[in-house]
Structure 1
Amino acid sequence: MIRNLSILFLLIFISCSNDGTNRNPYLLEVNFRFDANLNLPTYNPLTNIGSAVFVPNEGVGTKGVFIINTGFDQFRAFEASCPNHAPNECSTMTLDGQTVTCSCENYEYSLFTGQLLERPEDGKRYYDMLEYRASLSGNTVVVSN
């Protein structure tokens, strides 16, 4: 009886695998919550579809967060640190309209999708931007992880 239970437990343990995840090894997923009040001048551009803002506040993501209004009261928020290397002095990306650029390698990402644009075809693994939860609550965009 104990032997059968041991074998059953072993089979269950072996069948539980974490291989299906696509975790970015460069960026930690930090816990935070940030409220962007759309009535404030800093975040008011988010009332327009396609507009994006950079939130450099300490404790919001690793190197800050980009928020974009994607239309129909939907917002997306992404980590501001380049997802393709460890955070350092050049890894905070810069906002240019609806794209962001990493000054370390000049990688460019879309804020609508978070995807790396013009992905190099050198056989290496490249990561898209780390996305955070973003939702509209009244006149405030709540970003959290």
Structure 2
Amino acid sequence: MKKYMKNSIFLLQIFLILSCSSDDRSDNNQFLPPSSINYQINLNLPQFNPLKFPGNHLIDRTENGSIKGIIIYNIDDSQYSAFELSDPNHSPNDCSTQTVEGITSTCECDDGNSYNIVTGQQTSGEGQFGLRRYNIRRDGNTLFITN
């Protein structure tokens, strides 16, 4: 009986370990290759001045590990959103880089894809994927962007 209980407890532990979800946010998007983002933005630098004010956005195309660049939006000075600039419903190409007006990013391809840069949800066009979200947090005058 003791051996049966030990085996049962062991199997239960294995089951619990395997059923736990991880924080790996694999988006399973076949169009966008994996990217590795881990960098900081100093809001004291003049090129990042727009991000000091709620309702403003900035497109960062520096060598930051993204595919085409990152759209960063200041929601309310304590909350920011950060998304990949490449349209998630196209393989990266000449027309997949998005432009931003207000809180809408739009792909230049013929399908009319557009997205909300606050939520990342697709608002029009064709496709099954929303924008690829990056983690972003503010600490003092520094934004930390990771994935």
- Give your verdict on TM over 0.5: yes
What is aligned with 1:144? 146
Q: Which amino acid aligns with 2:141?
A: N
Which residue among 107, 113, 124 is the counterpart of 1:107?
113
Question: Within 1, Cα distance between the matches of 2:66 and 2:115?
Answer: 17
Q: 1:98 to 1:66 in 2, by over 3 A?
A: same
* Residue 118 in structure 1 maps to residue 143 in structure 2: no
The alpha carbon displacement at 1:77 in A equals: 0.4
Question: Within 2, Cα distance between the matches of 1:22 and 1:34?
Answer: 21
Q: How does 1:58-69 map to 2 (within 5 A)?
A: 58-69=63-74
What is aligned with 2:55? 50
What is aligned with 1:3? none
SS of residue matched to 2:138: strand
TM-score by length of 2: 0.77
Q: How does 1:1-145 map to 2 (within 5 A)?
A: 23-104=28-109, 105-120=111-126, 125-145=127-147
Which structure carries more helix by proportion? 2
The alpha carbon displacement at 1:97 in A equals: 1.9
What is aligned with 2:6? none
8 A contact 2:52–2:77 mirrored in 1: no
Q: Which amino acid aligns with 1:96?
A: E
Aligned length: 132
SS of residue matched to 1:44: helix
TM-score by length of 1: 0.77
Q: Which amino acid aligns with 1:82?
A: D
Gaps of 5+ in 1: 1-7
CA RMSD in angstroms, aligned pairs only: 2.7
The alpha carbon displacement at 1:23 in A equals: 1.7
Question: Within 1, Cα distance between the matches of 2:65 and 2:44?
Answer: 20
8 A contact 2:120–2:132 mirrored in 1: yes
